[in-house]
Amino acid sequence: MAVANRPDVSDRPSPYPPPGDAPDGYYATHQYFLSKRSLYLVVWKISDGHRGINEILQWLVNIQARAPNSPVIIVGTHYDVVQEFSPNISEEYQQMIRDRFINIVDAEKMGLPRVLDTIEISCKTRHNVKLLCNLIYDTVFSLRPPGSKELLLEQKVPATYLALEDIVTSVAVERRVNGLDPVLTSDQYKSIMTLEMQQRYNKSFRDSAELHQATLFLHENGVLLHYDDATLKDLYFLDPQWLCDMLAHVVTIREINPFARTGVMKLDDLKHVFKASNIGPIDTRGYVVNLLNKFEVALTWDSRTLLIPSLLPSEEDMIIAQMYPGQAVQPLVKVKVPLRSRGWAVRSKKLTVSPKSVLYNTDGSKGFQLTMAANLSSKIEVSL
């Protein structure tokens, strides 16, 4: 299942990874790119049954958390497959979706976005494909920005905003060609954009407030990323796809990041993961860690350790490893989570681990241990 967003009218390639083909490492990073000016398609496989419906909730909650009250259409695929063995089951699933996500009162209070409709399609037989296209078209052309009576697609965009988009795209490409990361500090961004705007288009922004407003517009449309956060507000990410790739390096498969096999990673190992990065005076590790922490994709445990919840081992693999020693795909491992140094105030901390994982204090050691096998699973919270 995946989230496909930004079905806007544009010939610009989407900066997001292809939803249906994205590797597992990209799923945790999708929330960085959720925009309010979007229609979302939450796509699930009908043949997955109840499990697929349950997984829809995760995506809906993520959308509501990052882009509140955004319109959503739930799309079930492989309609032709379920028709072969159970013709009526598809309609039962559709009714379950309506009851859980559409026909509810105060969806916002339940942490859900505006789910407008649910539809089942088949790419093989083309069942409902045209209907889905019309549904998307009608929905997009009826969207209005919050608090506005004007249709979203009828809004007039200032020429300086469009010029800034071209400049941002051009500067990002130029930096990549020159072996530099497409990231600028606040001072660099203001000076470069102002200079390029004058030289290329003989235009200028009235003041820094107008430049900020134009930048916010580009952020909401996925052209660039800028977060008004204490640790990130001085950075402008000119290429969202590049940033997605960078972050996915941390939370992706072990072939790309072998330093976080069990969900625990040393911060010093980030320099090996990003050894190809050439960002100059900006601390790559610093802003990557800040981004991971901001969206809780990874958590800084202490000054040396990074916890990655989605990579923490699962109990299922631990059981398999114990039952079939030497034959399991993942060997039995012990994950050590060091306690904070004595200089830190002792507080109640929550660590996200797999359900029923074994958490115990080793006699004579300075930390706790998680005993299990390495892989992904659902999570629970355990207070330390």
Residue-wise pLDDT tens digits, 128-153: 999 999 999 999 999 887 778 888 88
Residues 6+ apart with CB under 8 A from 245: none
210 with 284, same domain: the answer is: no
In a domain, 2, yes or no: no
Are 36 and 132 part of one and the same domain?
Answer: yes
Q: Are 208 and 245 found together in one domain? A: no
Q: How many domains does the chain have?
A: 3
CB atoms within 10 A of CB 316: 16
pLDDT tens, residue by residue, 75-88: 999 999 998 888 88
Write down the pLDDT at residue 252.
66
Q: Are residues 69 and 118 in the same domain?
A: yes
Interacting residues of 290 by C-beta distance below 8 A, sequence separation 6+: 229, 231, 232
Is residue 353, in this structure, part of any structural domain at all? no
Would 368 be classed as within a structural domain? no
Among 156-160, 239-243, 250-254, 276-280, top mean pLDDT goes to: 156-160
Any domain includes 131: yes
**Domain finish residue from 230, 255, 284:** 230
Instruction: Give the pLDDT mean for 279-306.
Output: 73
Encode pLDDT of 293-341 as tens digits.
Answer: 877 778 888 778 888 877 777 777 667 767 776 654 455 555 555 555 5
Domain that holds residue 45: 29-142
Residue 6 has pLDDT above 50, yes or no: no
- Rounded mean pLDDT, 97-126: 93
Q: Are residues 40 and 133 in the same domain?
A: yes
Number of H helices, E strands in the chain: 12, 14
- Shared domain for 211 and 258, answered yes or no, is no
Q: Is residue 259 within 8 Å of residue 266, measured between CB atoms?
A: yes
Q: How far apart are CA 150 and CA 143, in angstroms?
A: 9
Are 38 and 138 members of one domain? yes
- Which of 230, 250, 277 delimits the end of a domain? 230
**Same domain for 200 and 105:** no
- 274: CATH: 1.10.10.2200
Q: Is residue 323 part of a domain?
A: no
Q: Confirm whether 327 is domain-assigned.
A: no
Q: What is the pLDDT of residue 337?
A: 58
Record the tokens describing residue 147, joined without a space. Answer: 């608090």
How does pLDDT run across 53-67, given as a tens digit for each residue? 999 998 999 899 888
What secondary structure letter does DSSP report for 225?
B
pLDDT > 90? residue 100: yes
Are residues 135 and 50 part of one domain? yes
Q: How is residue 80 written in tokens?
A: 């032709």
The per-residue pLDDT of the chain, averaged, comes to 76
Q: Which long-range contacts (CB under 8 A, 24 or more apart) does 273-277 make?
A: 273/249, 274/246, 274/249, 277/181, 277/246
**Whether residues 41 and 138 fall in one domain:** yes
Averaged pLDDT for residues 254-271: 75
For 215, phi and psi rounded to 5 degrees? -65, -40
Pair (127, 79) in one structural domain: yes
**Residue 11, domain member (yes or no):** no
Structural domain contains residue 23: no
Q: Among 311, 336, 365, give the residue marking a domain's end.
A: 311
Q: Which of 122, 115, 56, 118 is nearest to 84 (CA)?
A: 122
Domain with residue 79: its CATH number is 3.40.50.300
Residue 264: what pLDDT? 84
